[in-house]
Each structure stands twice: as structure tokens, then as C-alpha cells.
């Protein structure tokens, strides 16, 4: 029995059995020859399909997947769920010796957890040269596709732009009493923010903000965004930037701003250790990283693409990336401190 893994978010504790080695199709994951792309497309088409486990929003799946299927004639089967369920399924299936999944797409802390449990494969890709410096870890067993930026969102019917806080310290003002909200699993944002502000100072500040003015919690960033639109949470401290922007573009009474430092986290793509369709998975992996592929689709959805050949929708922000390695190593500390400061949060 491997060690008990405790993953980012403290969502899962699972015992993982060491999976036996198993024969795979000959893959091109590390091949670097000049005919790589030609061979990859041929091999992927021969396999014909792949299974993807992901947390991508359901509304975004078809715009991302259909162009790939049409271009290459490779079918993408999808199993989609929330972060904890995707991680739990990955771990439990591997422990049982079931190998249904070919590729994963979800948060970098969770991908790092799968790497540590020897459930991923390294990749050598020419596309890595196009990605942001922090997009690919040294072990190369996952790669970032997008950076999700935590921003502050507000209801424009309830709060005027000129009244917005300019610093977190401004949230001590009694005018914010009963108006503040936060996503209940935003401990990764909190951890990165504390490391920037200084832990002692930052913890004291947010403890005082909550004591003075309160802080409602909702589980799920989409729900928090919707609560801002409805006016039930006039000012939310943690939503992903693409969410309020999409709502604003549809005419909803919402806008967003950033209290520095701007914290971001990565979502990424990885290939399963025992993929039945490794070449189809690799072709999809590279499509997800390509400026001519999914990266352009992500950019059209107001995500920050990892591929630097595409412009960022947030060009003026200097992002501070949440560290997925530290997230795993320090999960108990930061989840515990987040709960102490903001409360236990809603029941899920």
C-alpha cells in the first residue's frame, strides 16, 4: 500500500495500491524525430479514440473537442465531474488495476498529486518552447493549458465603481458589513496571498475583516459569480476572471477588478501512465497546447492561455502563480488556516 495521499483542497484521502506494469501500445510521447507529427497523426488515427477525464465546464467541452475530432478523425470520449470526483476516480481505478482513462485535464495541484502517485507519463513536445516559463514542471508529466486568475467581482447595481476598495485593508471599512463573499475552497488563493503579503500580517488582516464585516461563503466559483449577478453577494473576493467577464458580456450587472497581487492557478493536461490510446492522447495533448488549436478557443472564452503566441486577455496584470507543489506539501496548514479565518463554509 502506498502512502495515503492528501490532495490539494483536502477533498480526498485514498489508499493507493502500487499498480503493476502493463504493456501499452508503442507511443511517441518521447519521440523527437523530424517526422514526429506525421507519425503521431497516423498512430492516433489508427487508435481512433481516447478517454478524457476532466473538470472543464460542460458548455466549453464541445467548442474545444469538436474541432479536434473534425480535423483528425479521432473520437474523444469524456467523463466530466468536479475536481474531487475526478481525482478520486483516477486514484481508485488505478488502485483496482482498471485503466480506462487516457488523458486528464484539471487543476495543477491535482495533476501534481497524480504525478507523485506514478499515474502519469512524461512527454517531450516541441510546443513547450511556446509556453510560459512556469507552464511545464521539470518532470514534464503535465503541462499548463490555461491560467485561471482570481479576481474580485461586484454587482454594479449595488456598488459603484468609484466606491470599490483599492487595497485589502479598505475592506475594514464598516460600509462593507454584510456585503462580502468568498468561494469556500479558495485556500489556494489565500495561501499564495499570504506568501505575498506576509503570513502574520495577512492572517491578522483577514481575521479582522471577517470579525468586523462578515464573509458569506458559497461552494463553487460559478455559484459565487451567479450570486454576485443576483446581488446576494455584492462583492466577491474570489472568482475566476473569465466568469464575470462572460456574464458582463451578456448584459448582467456585474464587473470585476483586481486587488494586488493578482493570484493565478494553472489548469493542465496530462497523459495517463497506462493509457490504452497513448498516441491519440498525445495528439489531443498537443492540440490543447497549440495556438492553432484549443489555446485559441480558450482565449475566446477569456481564459489566459499558457501559449505565449496568443495575447493574454489580461495583458496589464503581473500574475503571481500559486505553486502546486507547495499546495500539496502544505495543504493541511493552509486549509486549516483558511477555515480558521473565514469559517467552515457551507455544507456541500
Q: Which of 1-5, 142-146, 209-213 has the lowest mean pLDDT?
A: 1-5
DSSP 46: H
pLDDT at 313: 84
Residue 7, pLDDT above cutoff 70: no
Residues 274 and 128 in one domain: yes
Residue 264, pLDDT above cutoff 70: yes
16 domain-assigned: yes
pLDDT at 202: 97
Residues 222 and 251 in one domain: yes
Residues 142 and 157 in one domain: no
pLDDT at 248: 96
58 domain-assigned: yes
Q: What is the mean pLDDT of the chain?
A: 91
247 domain-assigned: yes
Structural domain tally of the chain? 2
83 domain-assigned: yes
Residues 168 and 196 in one domain: yes
234 domain-assigned: yes
Residue 26, pLDDT above cutoff 70: yes
d(CA 320, CA 329): 19
pLDDT at 2: 38
347 domain-assigned: no
Residues 193 and 93 in one domain: no
Residues 100 and 178 in one domain: no
CATH code where residue 216 lies = 3.40.190.10
pLDDT at 5: 45
Residues 226 and 337 in one domain: yes
pLDDT at 317: 78
Residue 75, pLDDT above cutoff 80: yes
Residues 69 and 103 in one domain: yes
pLDDT at 10: 41
254 domain-assigned: yes
d(CA 205, CA 203): 5
The model's pLDDT over 287-318, given as tens digits with 9 standing for 90+, comes to 999 999 999 999 999 899 999 999 888 877 78
| Whole-structure pTM value | 0.85
Residues 6+ apart with CB under 8 A from 31: 39, 40, 124
Could you check whether the bond before residue 261 is cis, i.e. omega within 30 degrees of 0?
Answer: yes
Residues 65 and 95 in one domain: yes
Residue 32, pLDDT above cutoff 90: yes
Residues 143 and 269 in one domain: yes
CB 109 within 8 A of CB 91: no
- Report residue 147 as a C-alpha cell: 491560467
d(CA 144, CA 162): 36
* H helix runs in the chain, sequence order: 36-47, 58-72, 83-95, 108-116, 187-197, 199-213, 221-230, 242-249, 278-289, 294-300, 324-329, 331-342
221 domain-assigned: yes
Residues 199 and 100 in one domain: no
Beta strand 235-240 with 180-183 is parallel
- Domain of residue 161 covers 149-264+329-342
- Report residue 125 as a C-alpha cell: 513536445
Residues 103 and 195 in one domain: no
Amino acid at each position: 500500500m502506498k502512502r495515503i495521499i492528501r490532495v490539494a483542497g483536502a477533498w480526498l484521502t485514498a489508499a493507493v495500491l502500487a499498480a503493476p506494469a502493463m504493456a501499452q501500445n508503442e507511443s511517441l510521447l518521447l519521440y523527437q524525430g523530424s517526422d514526429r507529427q506525421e507519425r503521431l497523426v497516423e498512430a492516433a488515427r489508427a487508435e481512433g479514440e481516447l478517454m478524457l477525464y476532466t473538470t472543464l465546464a460542460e458548455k466549453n467541452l464541445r467548442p474545444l473537442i469538436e474541432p479536434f475530432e473534425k480535423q483528425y478523425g479521432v473520437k474523444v470520449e469524456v467523463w466530466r465531474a468536479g475536481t474531487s470526483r475526478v481525482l478520486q476516480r483516477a486514484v481508485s481505478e488505478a488502485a483496482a488495476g482498471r485503466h480506462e482513462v487516457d488523458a486528464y485535464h484539471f487543476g495543477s495541484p491535482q495533476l501534481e498529486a497524480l504525478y507523485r502517485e506514478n499515474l502519469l507519463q512524461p512527454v517531450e513536445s516541441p510546443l513547450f518552447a511556446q509556453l510560459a516559463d512556469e507552464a511545464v514542471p521539470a518532470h514534464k508529466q503535465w503541462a499548463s493549458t490555461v491560467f485561471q486568475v482570481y479576481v474580485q467581482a461586484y454587482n454594479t447595481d449595488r456598488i459603484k465603481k468609484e466606491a470599490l476598495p483599492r487595497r485589502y485593508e479598505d475592506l475594514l471599512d464598516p460600509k462593507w458589513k454584510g456585503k462580502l463573499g468568498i468561494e469556500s475552497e479558495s485556500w489556494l488563493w489565500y495561501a499564495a496571498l499570504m506568501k505575498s503579503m506576509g503570513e502574520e500580517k495577512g492572517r491578522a488582516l483577514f481575521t479582522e475583516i471577517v470579525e468586523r464585516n462578515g464573509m458569506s461563503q458559497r461552494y463553487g466559483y460559478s455559484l459565487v459569480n451567479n450570486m454576485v449577478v443576483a446581488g446576494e453577494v455584492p462583492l466577491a473576493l474570489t472568482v475566476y476572471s473569465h466568469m464575470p467577464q462572460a456574464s458582463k458580456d451578456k448584459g448582467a450587472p456585474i464587473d470585476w477588478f483586481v486587488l494586488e497581487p493578482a493570484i493565478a492557478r494553472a489548469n493542465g493536461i496530462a497523459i495517463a501512465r497506462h493509457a490504452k490510446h497513448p498516441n491519440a492522447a498525445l495528439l489531443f495533448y498537443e492540440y490543447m497546447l497549440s495556438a492553432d488549436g484549443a489555446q485559441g478557443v480558450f482565449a475566446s472564452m477569456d481564459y489566459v492561455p499558457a501559449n505565449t503566441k496568443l495575447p493574454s486577455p489580461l495583458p496589464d496584470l503581473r500574475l503571481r502563480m500559486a505553486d502546486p507543489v507547495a499546495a500539496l506539501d502544505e495543504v493541511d496548514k493552509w486549509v486549516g488556516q483558511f477555515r480558521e479565518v473565514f469559517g467552515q463554509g457551507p455544507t456541500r
